Amino acid sequence: MKRIISLTVLNQAGVLNRITGLFSKRDFNIESITVGQTETEGVSRMTLIVNVQQENEVEQITKQLNKQIDVLKVTDITAQSIVSRELALIKVMSTPATRMEIQGLIQPFRATVIDVSRESVVVQVTGESEKIEVLIDLLKPYGLKEIARTGTTAFTRGTQRSSKETPISIV
């Protein structure tokens, strides 16, 4: 089962390596990982998509992550109301004759053409992973040259915190 784990960590050298090493040692595969700065200076948010076989494996991962020195907070947000997005850049084979066709195809996905060359166009799309998969499948007949995806990033909806959460403060 796919799980979405959100971490806030101190932005220190080696943190990412220690976290991914923890997953590697326990034979858990990270399907997707995104990392970026948060609204708090010196703190980054990591969003990990992992596949686990049993529910207790998520608890094991969470406990191990909480033991890491630079980890401030770990939350399995899978069952919560979340906002999640992914970005994909898709380079598609294109001729002048097929460009309008591709444009019409990507429009319902709110995707945009961000680069045009003689033989290809680059399409940018954001949204949930399933939406991106559908668009990629529709573009396959034109010939895919390259795909770059960011992986899913997510956090919980709204401004309410659970009673277990505390604001982050760095001294």
Domain end, chosen from 32, 60, 76, is at 76
Residue at 137 is within a domain:
yes
Domain end, chosen from 76, 95, 115, is at 76
Position 162 confidence tier, pLDDT thresholds 50, 70, 90: very low
Q: DSSP character for 65?
A: H
Tell me, yes or no, whether 71 and 102 share the same domain. no
Distance CA 147, CA 88 (A): 7
Please choose, from the candidates 48, 45, 28, the residue with its C-alpha nearest in 3D space to the C-alpha of residue 36.
45
Q: pLDDT tens, 28-60?
A: 889 999 999 999 999 999 999 998 887 788 888
- Strand, coil or helix: 128: coil
Tell me, yes or no, whether 120 and 100 share the same domain. yes
| Count of domains forming the chain | 2
Tell me the CATH number at 12.
Answer: 3.30.70.260
Overall pTM > 0.75: yes
Mean pLDDT of 82-97: 94
Distance CA 89, CA 77 (A): 26
Domain residue limits at 70: 2-76
Tell me the CATH number at 93.
Answer: 3.30.70.1150
Mean pLDDT, the chain, whole residue set: 89
Tell me, yes or no, whether 41 and 103 share the same domain. no
- β-bridge partners, 92: 121, 144
Tell me, yes or no, whether 12 and 57 share the same domain. yes
Provide the token pair at 141. Answer: 């007949």
Judged against a pLDDT cut of 80, whether residue 169 lies above it is answered with no
137-146 exposure pattern, b = at least 16 Cβ within 10 A, e = fewer:
eebeebeeee
> Vertex 143, ends 137 and 146: CA angle to 5°?
85
> What's the confidence (pLDDT) of residue 168?
52
Most confident option among 9-23, 53-67, 121-135, 146-160:
121-135
Residue at 159 is within a domain:
no
Mean pLDDT of 67-87: 91
Tell me, yes or no, whether 69 and 95 share the same domain. no
Q: pLDDT tens, 99-109?
A: 999 999 999 99
Position 164 confidence tier, pLDDT thresholds 50, 70, 90: very low
Residue at 163 is within a domain:
no
Judged against a pLDDT cut of 90, whether residue 110 lies above it is answered with yes
Distance CA 30, CA 49 (A): 6
